[in-house]
Structure 1
Amino acid sequence: MNGKTFFEFCMSVRQRHVEDAVHGVITELDENAVRSSIKFVDYKVDETSDHPVTATLQLKDGQLAHVRCKYLVGADGGRSTVRALSSIPFPGVSSPHKWVRLDAIVKSDLPVQRGPGVGVESDAHGNVLWVPTDNGRTRIGFVLKDELYGVDGSSVTAETVMEEARKALLPNSLEFVQLDWWTVYAIGQRVAEQFRKGRVILAGDAAHTHSSGAAQGMNTGIHDATNLAWKLAGVVKGWYKEEVLDVYDSERRASAQHLIELDKDVASLISGKIPERFNAPPDADVNEYLYGVFEASAGFGVGLEVSYPENLLNKTYPGDELSSTVQVGHRGPDAALFRPGARFPRRLQELVASSGRRFSILVFAGEVHSVDGFPTLPEARAAKYAELRQYVDSAESFARTLADVFQFVTVVRGEGVMQPAEAIGVPPLGKMAYDHTGDAYDKYGVRTGEGALVVLRPDGIVGFAAPLALDGIRAVGLYFEGFVEPRTIRQGAPLWKVGSAVGEVSVGGQEEHTV
């Protein structure tokens, strides 16, 4: 993915350590936000209540707690209780393959041991996964023979797994110093028929399951979370219309279906079998097909090319004038930009970050030229920018009622000065940044002589693009009015408040508020 990310490396950290890190950050914000060892039992919905969902939970001591909330998110795994109680069908197929995964400290004479993950070809076990992970551990994975798995896998032992791993690495050696963890599992390639059913929303493995062949389990769950979190927060707070939650359903379900089709190919190829749809010749090399699938799907696999179709949140400008060639529904490209007076660049994605709470309107104002030694926008371009500035400050502007839904970031091509107003003639809209090399303008397909307006969603997806003109900024306002509840967001009101009450909890008959 050269040129599409500033992180040109591969890092493998096991999920339990990722969860610990996330848990630590959340508890720093609110020590009561995460409550573990609680079992979800049941729920009911009463639409006449301000908090329609009442969820029943079983605590560590066996007591039942009743939590009232507005929505119930089922992120409770492939055997989701939430999904089952909601009667949401989970169609799909069960793969015939049984997979081994283990983490261990090992010794081997493999030529590559602590570099990027590799696939080791094995006549007996197909393609063997070898991935160096954290703390000196290595993750090894392969398909287990049916005769060893038996009827239900209950006869498989740690010794069986280690012995098969040694065979899978032949003719290279493999010695186990310490086996931390192992598992043998079957694969269900399934996608829920609905990711949203009324007050119930599914995410992660509760919504889709697949093999670990393409390393997409946690990746896909994180994409679900980043797609859903800001939508759900906005609907609960009354910022967005409820149809925004239907966009989560359509966007992420389609993405999961695409992943399942990819996974079917990967799982079969890793096991050493070429799917029939490839119409491969009898002497075809299965690894060539596997590498071809991985190469073709690399962008989707690492998340940089996850994209969504046109919908309520992804709209094409209705006019004929194309101000930017960036694709609506696709990830907004990253680029190195300089803040006024800074000697070192910052990533565009850093400048638009807002804790996942705001849309960002990128104002590509055009290229500055040196006038009497000072970088300045050409007169015609400066006049257009000033016109936009005047409109945004006017009573008719959507910014008056929707100000907390978005933020402006002005991007100017060229090198700038400490005082941005000197370069553009008026105080800038939002933060100001200079594109020294033209990298951002090139990636967003913006002509420096014309400029553009590009709207990034809170999850970094391009939602809308329009010309740098009054018609363009008015079109941006209409875009927001399509899904933002009118006059519900006051200028200066907090958009995201950590620790706000989420409902009511009753334990042992006593009412208390949760934070």
Structure 2
Amino acid sequence: MAETVKVDILICGAGPVGLLLAYQLKRMGHSIYIIDRHDAEKQSMFGRATSLFPRTLEMLDQLDLLEEMNQIGVIGRSSVTFKDGKRLASRGWHSMFTEMGETYLDYILNIRQKFSMDVFRRRYQKLGGLVGTEWTLKEMEIHEKDAEHYRVTSMLHGGSGGTKVVKSKYIIGADGGRSTVRQLAGIDFNGEERTYRWVRIDGIFKTNMPDAEIGFNAIESKKHGNVLWVQLEHGVQRIGFALNSEMYAKYGDTMTIEQASAEAKEAMAPFTFEIERVEWWTLYKIQQKIAMHFVSGPVLLAGDSCHTHSSGAAQGMNTGMHDATNLGWKLGGVLGGWLKEEILKTYESERRTAAQTLIDLDEDFSTCLSGHVPERHAAMGADPNEVFFHLFQQSIQFNIGIGIEFAANILNVDPHAGMVTAGKRGPDCLLRAPGSHIPTRLFQVTKNTGIFSVIVFAGQPHLTASAVRSLRRVMDSKTTPLEMMPRGSFRLLTIIAGYAMNADTALGVEKFGDAYYDVDHTAHAKYHISTSRGAIVILRPDGILGTAVDLDEPGIIAQYFSAFTRT
């Protein structure tokens, strides 16, 4: 008789997206079982996704994961592009580093997927989380909630021949482009496969290319397209290039590593190139597809299970981690009983729109990187490298993640104060804790533990005293706008413009949660909040601005939370 396991969530796919979700949900106190048909810890060959951009780094930092990953990976803050052996200052990846935007994490972290997964897995298992390796989902049945709210019954088959039944409240498909969860749920996966084939090789290389160790380089090759060069951790590098029609006719899909290595040597011309050791390599074709739904009842999809694209802009793992971060706190709050299940609809509307934007960009990027100019951009010129550079520049803020924004919904409500748009990343800023000479970042005191941050920008106390006192009376009353919120579902913070020896004394009333000082008023300025008026800002657990109101409008906070919380 098969063993039966009951958990809140069954996650299929123990890759970076599945593990990141498992970690978030486990530290919110939920029971998780994550399975994978492979045992990643036993794999000797690895490669795949490598580069993490600033917004992803901010998310990982707010989940207390980035510090460990920074100790492993390569910090990239520069790039060089070459053509015919000479530097091109006019185009290339370096433009990204000059437009990092309003972030203190102004770098790209190059870390191979295996090592990201190792960090996520260790942190999840440290919380007592279970990983079932060499288990495959074979059957899935969706039914009405039972007395314990279990709606999904899954049949698993083990590599050694055993079977297991898992009853869960939700099932998450993080099991890649061929997702079994998606197929069993009958969710369409629409898009197309391109004729382009790309090669990626990781290993220990020798080259006389200048600045080969700085992070990202590119070589504009007539034969091999836009050749990618990435410095990875542990002294490893990656080279990537496209197979043109002539090469594909020569090798087909049976290209060997010896043939790929020979082409890599040509791709690096006029620089010398030798391979000392290969750690991983792949020849793959490009797919650009998106699932019709990311949410279907208790079935949820994330990462490659619901969108696939090329690695041309290095967005794959970043986009999957954005999915995981967006879904994690929402599902955790639903399971915790304080968020309405309808909030999961915002996961699909927000992340599917972002994924579709990426796929639209990727169609153009992959065409250019393969040595062709997209038909719709023919007016930009005949050189695919120049066209790629212009398209890349236009989308930099989206690519680094800082510019991703979500449309209005129950979580993103037009603010009454400030000028930051709801649905956009709330600006990070430097604050001072009481008595400290060392600044701390707002994102460091608003960690993503699944709770909202209600921030009182108190302005200059001598100018906002009346409004602050009135707000204190409302907060102390039995009808406080936060009374409906379960204990532990939000944090209060006070940010005072200037500095004082004691926050309560400066305000004339008790501060709202912990107090921090905006010594030079830049925090107020970044949120476009007048220091003579102040405001209340609500940040979602993932750092996105939910809404903002004037100090004398606390009742609107109650309206905001009532749309998606259970009373």
Report the TM-score, using the length of structure 2 for normalisation.
Answer: 0.80
Deviation at 1:2, TM superposition (A): 4.2
Change (3 A) 1:48 1:24: closer
Deviation at 1:259, TM superposition (A): 0.3
2:549 pairs with one of 466, 473, 477: 466
Partners of 2:280 and 2:471 in 1: CA distance? 60
1:340 pairs with one of 420, 428, 434: 434
Deviation at 1:116, TM superposition (A): 2.4
Instruction: Output aligned runs, 1:40-439, within 5 Å.
Output: 40-49=137-146, 50-149=149-248, 153-280=252-379, 284-317=382-415, 322-355=416-449, 357-367=450-460, 377-378=461-462, 381-402=464-485, 403-417=487-501, 419-439=502-522
2:109 is paired with a residue whose SS is coil
1:144 maps to a residue whose letter is L
Report the TM-score, using the length of structure 1 for normalisation.
Answer: 0.88
Deviation at 1:109, TM superposition (A): 1.0
Deviation at 1:149, TM superposition (A): 4.0
1:362–1:411 CA contact under 8 A, matched in 2: yes
1:19 pairs with one of 117, 134, 145: 117
**1:480 and 2:561 correspond:** yes
Change (3 A) 1:398 1:36: farther
2:253–2:283 CA contact under 8 A, matched in 1: no
Partners of 1:296 and 1:109 in 2: CA distance? 32
Question: Which consecutive residues of structure 1, in runs of 5 or more, have no partner in the other structure?
Answer: 368-376, 487-515
Deviation at 1:326, TM superposition (A): 0.9
1:95–1:186 CA contact under 8 A, matched in 2: yes
Deviation at 1:48, TM superposition (A): 3.9
Deviation at 1:312, TM superposition (A): 1.0
Partners of 1:60 and 1:391 in 2: CA distance? 60
Deviation at 1:8, TM superposition (A): 2.2
Partners of 1:193 and 1:151 in 2: CA distance? 37
Work out the percentage of aligned pairs sharing the same amino acid.
40
Deviations 1:271-308 (A, max 9, x none): 11111111326x63322221122222121112112110
Change (3 A) 1:296 1:427: same
Change (3 A) 1:272 1:90: same
In structure 1, the partner of 2:18 is none
2:538 pairs with one of 455, 475, 480: 455
Change (3 A) 1:79 1:354: closer
2:452 maps to a residue whose letter is F
Deviations 1:214-234 (A, max 9, x none): 001100000000000011111
Partners of 2:556 and 2:516 in 1: CA distance? 24
Question: Which consecutive residues of structure 2, in runs of 5 or more, have no partner in the other structure?
Answer: 1-98
2:153–2:167 CA contact under 8 A, matched in 1: yes
Partners of 1:60 and 1:338 in 2: CA distance? 54
2:284 is paired with a residue whose SS is strand
2:412 maps to a residue whose letter is N
Partners of 1:78 and 1:84 in 2: CA distance? 10
Partners of 2:211 and 2:379 in 1: CA distance? 30
Partners of 1:339 and 1:415 in 2: CA distance? 10
1:423 maps to a residue whose letter is A
1:400 is paired with a residue whose SS is coil
Partners of 1:206 and 1:477 in 2: CA distance? 37
2:199–2:241 CA contact under 8 A, matched in 1: yes
1:46 maps to a residue whose letter is H
Deviant stretches of 4+, over 3 Å: 145-154
Partners of 2:143 and 2:438 in 1: CA distance? 55
Partners of 1:177 and 1:300 in 2: CA distance? 37
1:6 pairs with one of 104, 108, 120: 104
1:288 maps to a residue whose letter is E
Partners of 1:416 and 1:104 in 2: CA distance? 55
Deviations 1:311-367 (A, max 9, x none): 0110114xxxx4200111000110110011111010000111142x11101111012
Deviation at 1:98, TM superposition (A): 0.4
2:224–2:370 CA contact under 8 A, matched in 1: yes
2:319 is paired with a residue whose SS is helix
Change (3 A) 1:249 1:294: same
2:255 maps to a residue whose letter is V
Partners of 1:25 and 1:213 in 2: CA distance? 30
Partners of 1:429 and 1:416 in 2: CA distance? 15
2:243–2:370 CA contact under 8 A, matched in 1: no
Partners of 2:268 and 2:205 in 1: CA distance? 12
Partners of 1:117 and 1:158 in 2: CA distance? 23
Partners of 2:174 and 2:100 in 1: CA distance? 33
Partners of 2:252 and 2:122 in 1: CA distance? 36
1:428 maps to a residue whose letter is K
In structure 1, the partner of 2:73 is none
Deviations 1:139-172 (A, max 9, x none): 1111123454459954211101101101111111
Larger Rg over CA atoms:
1
1:148–1:156 CA contact under 8 A, matched in 2: no
Partners of 1:144 and 1:51 in 2: CA distance? 49
2:133 is paired with a residue whose SS is coil
Partners of 1:336 and 1:59 in 2: CA distance? 51
Which deviates more from structure 2 when the two are superposed, residues 149-158 or residues 103-112? 149-158
Partners of 2:275 and 2:556 in 1: CA distance? 63
Deviations 1:376-397 (A, max 9, x none): x11x512211211221121111
2:456–2:495 CA contact under 8 A, matched in 1: yes
Partners of 2:293 and 2:519 in 1: CA distance? 46
In structure 2, the partner of 1:495 is none
Deviation at 1:404, TM superposition (A): 2.7
2:499 is paired with a residue whose SS is coil
Deviations 1:167-223 (A, max 9, x none): 111111110011110000111100101001111111000000000000011000000
Partners of 1:59 and 1:424 in 2: CA distance? 62
Deviation at 1:117, TM superposition (A): 0.3
In structure 1, the partner of 2:46 is none
Change (3 A) 1:408 1:35: same
